[in-house]
Amino acid sequence: MKLIGIVGTNSDRSTNRKLLQFIQTHFSDQAEIELCEIKDLPAFDEPEDQTPPITVKELSDKIILADGVIISTPEYDHTIPAALKSALEWLSYTTRPLIDKPVMVTGASLGSLGSSRAQAHLRQILDAPELKARLMPSAEFLLGHSQQAFDEKGDLIDQDKVNELEENFEEFLQFVKMTEQLLKNRSKKNTKPFSWEV
């Protein structure tokens, strides 16, 4: 199975990047996971012809080719970072690669809540008509006090959190397969314009 992990911040010292790197390594025997950054994407600026910048197009192409997507977000002021919102706005306004794409949401934060409010907000955004991702229900992975959560090799220290992540990841792989079966006999994507675009 081929997945991509999107680092939901433009910070160079993000523990969400560390979390995705751990996921990439820990589950390498179950899936090929490519990490994608958003820090080089420009701020969203509504293009008249709906053509994305090359960096957005590259991310979009990777999403299209992947079986599923993992997004790991920090929490800034009770919500997701502006850089992640901007990236999603580019995707929703131009290529719309997340429509019907299975998505797993994770998050790490320096505080105790582990980005719970940001994850809830991200789920609402991903459910918007122009994004319309297939979100894995009833599962969230919250990593609090994330600066102290990893050892010097980048491994999660708390075995209970590792076990929780393993359960979530196994469920996500099943969710990807179930989504593929559900959409098997359906047309690939609704290419008709939305009512407000006509």
- CATH number of the domain residue 85 falls in: 3.40.50.360
Range of the domain at 185: 2-197
pLDDT at position 198 is 55
Residue 154, phi-psi category: left (phi > 0), alpha (psi -120 to 50), beta (remainder): left
User: Looking at the 3D structure of the chain, how many domains does it have?
Assistant: 1
What does the pLDDT look like over 42-62, one tens digit per residue? 999 998 888 999 999 999 999
pLDDT (0 to 100) of residue 185 = 75
Report the C-alpha gap between 89 and 42 in whole angstroms.
11
Half-sphere exposure of 140 (CA within 13 A, CB side): 18
Separation between Cα atoms, residue 61 and residue 156, nearest integer Å: 31
Cβ partners under 8 Å of residue 6, min gap 6: 36, 38, 59, 69, 70, 71, 72, 87
Task: Give the C-alpha separation, 144 to 180, whole Å.
Answer: 32
pLDDT digits (tens, 9 = 90+) for 134-182: 999 878 899 999 999 999 999 999 999 999 999 999 999 999 999 999 9
**Dist. CA 84–CA 116, nearest whole Å:** 16
Instruction: Please work out, in degrees rounded to the nearest 5, the angle formed at the alpha carbon of residue 120 by the alpha carbons of 89 and 68.
Output: 65
Q: Which of 108, 56, 64 is nearest to 83 (CA)?
A: 56
Mean pLDDT in the chain?
A: 93
